[in-house]
Structures are given as C-alpha cells and as structure tokens.
C-alpha cells in the first residue's frame, strides 16, 4: 500500500527488521549508524515509530559491528591500584 509515494509497512515486526537489516548491513553504505539508516529506510518505506525501531536494531538488539565501533563517552578508568593493607586485624 502506498502512502505519499512510500510503501506503508503493516505491523509485522519480522518484515520491518528485515527491511532495516537490508539498509543497515548493505556493503555500499552499511553500518552508518542510527540516523543514516533511518534516512535510507524512510526514503522508500514508512510506518509509525520507524526511528525507534531502527535505534532498537542498531544499538539494542545488536549489530555486533556497530557495538564494537560505538564511541564511548565515559572517561577511561585509569590504572589499577593496589589496595592498602590494613595495619591491624
């Protein structure tokens, strides 16, 4: 079914994941992250909460490559330090 020139996807989670996977994992422009994948999917398809579904696929359900390449915003932990030995027991 077309809506505004885009294919409207029914509420079929497996089919939606397959479409997201197609755009996210393709060799030419794959693994570009949440926003680029959302942009690519929404060029041809539309359904409610497409951004949420793409984010869930990319960061939660785990594209292994994206998980390894994700920038960490925490500060590095630092060097390991020895615990102080108590003087009395």
Residue 74 resides in a domain: no
User: What integer is the mean pLDDT of 68-85?
Assistant: 79
* Distance from C-alpha of 12 to C-alpha of 30, rounded to nearest angstrom: 23
Residue 17 resides in a domain: yes
Please report the pLDDT score of residue 6 as a whole number: 80
Residue 85 resides in a domain: no
Residue 80 resides in a domain: no
* Distance from C-alpha of 47 to C-alpha of 10, rounded to nearest angstrom: 7
User: Which residue segment(s) compose the domain that 37 sits in?
Assistant: 2-69
pTM (2 d.p.): 0.63
**12-42 pLDDT per residue, tens:** 788 888 888 888 877 666 677 778 888 888 8
Residue 82 resides in a domain: no
* Distance from C-alpha of 80 to C-alpha of 59, rounded to nearest angstrom: 30
Residue 21 resides in a domain: yes
Residue 88 resides in a domain: no
Of 11, 8, 21, 1, which Cα lies nearest the Cα of 64?
21
Total structural domains in the chain?
Answer: 1
Of 54, 52, 44, 51, which Cα lies nearest the Cα of 7?
44
């Amino acid at each position: 079914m077309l809506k505004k020139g885009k294919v409207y996807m029914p509420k079929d989670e497996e089919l939606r994941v397959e479409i997201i996977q197609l755009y996210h994992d393709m060799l030419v422009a794959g693994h570009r992250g949440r926003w680029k994948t959302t942009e690519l999917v929404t060029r041809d398809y539309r359904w409610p909460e497409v951004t949420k579904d793409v984010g869930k696929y990319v960061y939660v359900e785990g594209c292994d490559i994206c998980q390894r390449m994700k920038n960490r915003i925490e500060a590095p932990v630092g060097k390991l330090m020895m615990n102080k030995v108590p003087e009395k027991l």
